[in-house]
Amino acid sequence: SQQGEEDPQALSIQEGENATMNCSYKTSINNLQWYRQNSGRGLVHLILIRSNEREKHSGRLRVTLDTSKKSSSLLITASRAADTASYFCATAPRTIYNQGGKLIFGQGTELSVKP
């Protein structure tokens, strides 16, 4: 399968709570990115973490990367109703067959933040 795994598949929380989503992947990577997608819309890039980085912050977002476990997590702190969306991780596999840099997406987590 070209897809990585994400969990949970769906997450429902109250406004103000933190949301944590996890992603696992299969191959060596150059970087891992997180994207957000509102229903029926395109993707919005959230954050990129390189393979030699372990943690990165951007506003209310915190991303970790564990290359030994081939996993990443996205934490959204102090969630808001407007954070309701699907969240996807995407990896750029580091192989000779991916010189063009194609992204492989995880299954996604559907986050619902209730006001």
Enumerate binding residues for another protein (CB under 8 A). Answer: 2-3, 31, 33, 35, 40-43, 45, 48, 86, 88, 100-108, 110
**If 0-12 CB within 10 Å is exposed, 13-18 middle and 19+ buried, where does residue 22 land?**
middle
**Which alpha helices (DSSP H) does the chain contain, by range?**
none
* Residue 100 Cβ vs another protein, minimum distance, rounded to whole Å: 5
Q: Which is nearer to another protein, 64 or 107 (by Cβ)?
A: 107
* Residue 16 Cβ vs another protein, minimum distance, rounded to whole Å: 26
Q: Which is nearer to another protein, 7 or 105 (by Cβ)?
A: 105
Beta bridge partners of 87: 36, 109
φ, ψ at 38 (rounded to 5°): -80, 155
Q: Which is nearer to another protein, 15 or 105 (by Cβ)?
A: 105
* Residue 42 Cβ vs another protein, minimum distance, rounded to whole Å: 4
Give the Cα separation of 105 and 115 in Å (integer).
29
